[in-house]
């Protein structure tokens, strides 16, 4: 396990990768195929910035927000259909 110094928690690279895989798989299954990617891009940037800072809690919350964004966009598309 590789650790990165963080003010909010110890960075577990394997756990971070596992959480990211789960989140992005969910997004892949949920996000409408033809939807604009801008909403995801904004949240993805937050995730990447948290990762660069080694801010575990912001990283996890960013992944959660990524999944919530995918769900919201899917609901919008279903409502418009």
DSSP string, 52-76: HHT-HHHHHHHHHHHHHHHHHHHHH
What is the pLDDT averaged over residues 44-57? Answer: 96
Give the pLDDT score at 4.
Answer: 45
In a domain, 2, yes or no: no
- Choose among 17, 2, 7: nearest CA to 55: 7
Which own/partner pairs from 2-8 qualify as long-range (CB within 8 Å, at least 24 positions apart)? Answer: 4/54, 5/54, 6/53, 6/54, 6/55, 6/56, 7/55, 8/55, 8/56, 8/57, 8/58
Number of domains in the chain: 1
Please provide the average confidence, as pLDDT, over all residues in the chain.
Answer: 88
Give the pLDDT score at 5.
Answer: 47
Whether residue 10 has pLDDT greater than 70: yes
Range of the domain at 72: 13-80
């Amino acid at each position: 396990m590789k650790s990165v110094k963080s003010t909010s928690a110890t960075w577990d690279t394997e756990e971070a990768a596992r959480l990211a895989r789960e989140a992005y798989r969910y997004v892949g299954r949920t996000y409408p195929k033809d939807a604009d990617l801008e909403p995801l891009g904004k949240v993805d940037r937050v995730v990447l910035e948290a990762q660069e800072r080694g801010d575990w809690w912001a990283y996890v919350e960013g992944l959660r927000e990524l999944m919530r964004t995918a769900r919201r966009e899917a609901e919008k598309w279903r409502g418009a259909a």
